[in-house]
Amino acid sequence: LNKLYSSSARKNSSSSSSSGGKKPSTSTGGSSSSGSGSSSGGNTIYKGSVSSLLSVAQSKIGCRYVKGAKGPNSFDCSGFVYWCLRQVGVNQSYWTSSTWRGNGKYQKISSMSAIQAGDIVVFGNGLNHVGIALGGGSMIDASSGDGCIRITSLSKAYWVSHFYAAYRVIG
């Protein structure tokens, strides 16, 4: 996977729109790991690989923060989440942090203690920010303060006080 998602990997130049099941379906069955989704009770869960999402995200550590950027070498927080999800086959349109807060598409996780690796972590209370949970109490995000993609601890009081919810996109 590291080679597949490394910066030296060749990108597919095909512009075919038949991408093999990357859009969510409305069925509730199946345990495929092809990136397809299933919907149940208004919550879509993509049956992809959390480890692939985390690998893609970690491959961008150190890339520059640029407001409004959506990759592949510079990002803002929303652009980073958008780009990472798209790389692993989640056909999700670009959402700002405020759009994430209002979504009913994915399973909402209301407690920080229930966050799992791969969840999209959303912050509010005066802070518009999103990141990707790495597990073990860490998050990877595009930080305007640090000016780059970095890993930070979710247990910091700052994050705890601004936590809104997390969303389980891949499960």
| Distance between CA atoms of residues 130 and 140, nearest Å | 9
Indicate which residue of 63, 76, 119, 129 is catalytic.
129
Q: Which residues pair with 45 in a beta bridge?
A: 38
Q: Which long-range contacts (CB under 8 A, 24 or more apart) does 147-154 make?
A: 147/64, 147/65, 148/61, 148/62, 148/63, 148/64, 148/65, 149/57, 149/60, 149/61, 149/62, 149/63, 149/65, 149/75, 149/80, 150/61, 150/62, 151/61, 154/112, 154/115, 154/121
Q: 129 catalytic, yes or no?
A: yes
Indicate which residue of 77, 84, 146, 162 is catalytic.
77
Indicate which residue of 63, 84, 119, 141 is catalytic.
141
Task: Give the three-state DSSP class for 87.
Answer: helix
Q: 162 catalytic, yes or no?
A: no
| Distance between CA atoms of residues 74 and 149, nearest Å | 9
Q: 63 catalytic, yes or no?
A: no
Catalytic residue positions, numbered? 77, 129, 141
